[in-house]
Structure 1
Amino acid sequence: MQKSEIQRVVTDMLPYLNNDQLIKLRQSMQKLLIPKNSIDLKNETLLQKYFSSKRAEGCSEKSLKYYRNTLEHALCVIGKNAREIITDELRGYLTDYQFTHGSSKVTIDNIRRILSSFFNWLEDEDYIIKSPVRRIHKVKVATTVKETYTDEELEKLRDGCTKIRDLAMIDFLASTGMRVGELVLLNRDDVNFNERECVVFGKGNKERVTYFDARAKLHLRKYIETRNDNEEALFISLNKPNRRLTIGGVETRLKKLGERVGVGHVYPHKFRRTLATVAIDKGMPIEQLQRLLGHKRIDTTLHYAMVKQQNVKIAHRKYIG
C-alpha cells in the first residue's frame, strides 16, 4: 500500500476516529512506528516541545507564561491526552469556562486562539492528524471604539506635571507611540537627538527605529541635563536609589497624574492608540504606521487606528457627494 493510499484511508476515517486512534491506524498500516508519535508522549512532553518551538520563533516569556497557564488549565479540566481530545470536548470546555468565570467574549476567543495555536502545531508536527480546533470558529465580538486622548486632555496632563521627568515621559509616549514595555527598556545611548530617533526592542526582541517630535526632544534633553546619576536607563525613579523605571511605576504615575488634573482613564497604551488614530486621520499610509508601531500584522494596526467619524463624513462628501 502506497503512502498516498494510506493517507486516503486515514482521511476517510476522520469522522469516526479520534486523533489517537487515527495515529494508531496509520502506524498499523505503515508497519513502522514513528518515534515522535509514541503513545508514551504525555501532555507535559508535548507542551515542552511546543514552547521550545514558540521560544525559537521569538515569543516573549510573558506570552509563553500566559499560553502555558491557559493550555495547562484546559488539558487538566478535560483530563485527556492532547492527541485524544475531540472538537466537542473543546467546545464544552470553552462554554463551561465562560459560564463559570463570567468571562467576556474577548477572553473566550483568546483561549480559543491559544488552543488553536497549540493543536495546529501538533498537526504540523504530525503528532495528530487534524486539529480539533479547526471547526471552532472565531468568537464574534462587538466592535467598540477605543478611547484616545483629546488635544485638551493631553495639554491638561502636560500642565499638571510637576517633574520634568513626567513631562518628558508624556511627550515621548505621545510622539513615538511606543509600548510602555519598550519605554522602560530604553537607555540614554539608544536616543539620537540630532535625528530625533531611537532604537527600541519590541515584541519577540525585534529591533526597530521610532521617532519623536521637537517638543519631546526639548523636554527629554532638559530632563537628562538635570540628572547626576550613573544609571544608563533613559527614565529612572525620582527617589534614591535612582533605578530604572518599571512598567508598574509608569502606570501608577500616569494614573495619579490623571486623577489630579481631572482626566479619566490615563494609562500608557492610550498614548499609542491616540498616535495611531491621529496618524490615520492625517493621511499616514497604513503600511508606514504598521512599521512605526512595530506590528507584525496590518490587521493589528487597523484595530488600533479608529478613524474619527467627522473625517468619514468629510470623505463621503468629497468622494461620493
Structure 2
Amino acid sequence: MKLSELWHLYEADKRIQGYSPRTLNAYVLQNKMLMTELGDPEIAEITLPMLKQYLAKQAERLKPSSLGHRIRFVRSLFRYAYEETYLTSNPSLKLREPKLDKRIPKFLVEEDVIHLKISCQSLRERALLELLYCTGCRVGEVERINIEDLNWENCSIVVNGKGSKQREVYFTIECKVWLRKYLTSRGDTCKALFVTDTNPTKRMAIPTIRWALKRLADRGEIETNVYPHRFRHTYACQLLDNGAPLDFIQGMLGHEKASTTQIYAQLRGERRREMYRRFF
C-alpha cells in the first residue's frame, strides 16, 4: 500500500468518527508536508530513521509546540495503519514529542476589561465582548453558536466544543441585556448568533472575531495583546479568584483532562504579581 492510499483511508476513518472540518484540514496540510519529504513510497518501506529525518528538518524552523503537532499526526497515521493491519509493525512507535516549557496563561486585568467595554462602538462589539468574558468559550465555539442555542430563562448556552462534545455554559444578566439589544437591532434572518457587518446573512468567522477584538483594543489604547483565548484565561482566573475548585473550572472550560486545567492553579499567584506590578 502506498502512503497516498493510506492517507485516503485514514482521512475517511476520521470523517466517520466525526472530526471537525478544521481538524481535517490541518491533517491534510500535515500529510502534504510528510509526502513532500518522503514522496509516495510503500508504507512498509517507511522506517523510524526516515520519519526522524523528516521531523528533524521540521524542527529547524518550528516551535516545540508546532513540532509536537507534526509528531502527533505522524504517530496517529501509522498507529492507524498498524491497528488496521496494513503494517506488521509501527515505525512511529518510538517517536517522542519535544519537552515544552510550562507557560502561565496570559489574562486580562480588570482595568483592561473596563477599557474594552468603554471602547465598544456597536451593539455587536459589546455583546461579543460580554459573551467571551463571562463564558470562557473557545473562539471556535463562539463562531458556531446559533440564536436557538441560547436559553434566555437559564442564561445558558449549549456549545459544541472540541471533538464535537457539547457542554452547557452560562452568561451573566449583563451579557443577556447586551445580547438581546444586539439581536433586536438586527433585521436579518440568519440563525448565527454573530453575523458580519457587511453581510448580515453571513456568520461571523474566527478571523473576523479576532480582527474585531484587535480593533477594539487599538481603540481603547490597550497595550496588552488582546485575542479571543485570552478571555478564556481571564474567565478561569476570575473563577479561581472567587474560590471555584479546579474540577468545577475543568467542567466549565470543557477540558477532557484535569492536567490541562491544573496550569490555571498557577494563575492565582501570577495574577497577584501582575496587579502589584501594575498598581504599586
Which bin holds the TM-score, normalised by the shorter protein? 0.7 to 0.9
In structure 2, what is the Cα distance between the partners aligned to 1:287 and 1:123? 36
Change (3 A) 1:122 1:103: same
- Quick check: 1:277–1:306 contact (8 Å CA) kept in 2? no
Tell me, what secondary structure is at the counterpart of 1:308?
A: helix
1:38-80 per-position Cα deviation (integer Å, ceiling 9, x unaligned): xxx2212211111122222221121112112212322331233
In structure 1, what is the Cα distance between the partners aligned to 2:175 and 2:77? 43
Q: Residue 169 of structure 2 aligns with which residue? A: 210
1:98 and 2:59 matched: yes
1:196-237 per-position Cα deviation (integer Å, ceiling 9, x unaligned): 001222233332221111211121122222333333222222
1:162 CA drift (Å): 1.2
- Quick check: 1:149–1:270 contact (8 Å CA) kept in 2? yes
Structure 1 range deviating more: 164-173 or 140-149: 140-149
1:252-297 per-position Cα deviation (integer Å, ceiling 9, x unaligned): 1110110111223111111112112332343323333232222333
Q: What aligned pairs does 1:1-321 form with structure 2 within 5 A after superposition?
A: 41-79=1-39, 80-99=41-60, 102-239=61-198, 241=200, 243-263=202-222, 264-303=224-263, 306-309=266-269
In structure 2, what is the Cα distance between the partners aligned to 1:273 and 1:130? 42
TM-score with structure 1 length normalisation? Answer: 0.77
1:134 CA drift (Å): 2.0
- Quick check: 1:75–1:82 contact (8 Å CA) kept in 2? no
- Quick check: 1:75–1:81 contact (8 Å CA) kept in 2? no
TM-score with structure 2 length normalisation? Answer: 0.88
1:185 CA drift (Å): 2.1
| Count of residues in correspondence between the two structures | 271
Rg bigger for which structure?
1
Q: CA RMSD in A?
A: 2.2
Q: Residue 19 of structure 1 aligns with which residue? A: none
In structure 2, what is the Cα distance between the partners aligned to 1:284 and 1:95? 43
Q: Which has the higher contact order (CA 8 A, sep 6+)?
A: 2
- Between the aligned residues of both structures, percent identity stands at 30
Q: Unaligned 5+ residue runs, structure 2?
A: 274-280
- Quick check: 1:43–1:81 contact (8 Å CA) kept in 2? yes
Q: Unaligned 5+ residue runs, structure 1?
A: 1-40, 314-321
In structure 2, what is the Cα distance between the partners aligned to 1:56 and 1:88? 32
- Quick check: 1:273–1:305 contact (8 Å CA) kept in 2? no
Tell me, what secondary structure is at the counterpart of 1:135?
A: coil
Change (3 A) 1:273 1:307: same
Partner letter of residue 192 of structure 2?
A
In structure 1, what is the Cα distance between the partners aligned to 2:199 and 2:25? 32
Change (3 A) 1:286 1:173: same
Partner letter of residue 63 of structure 1?
T
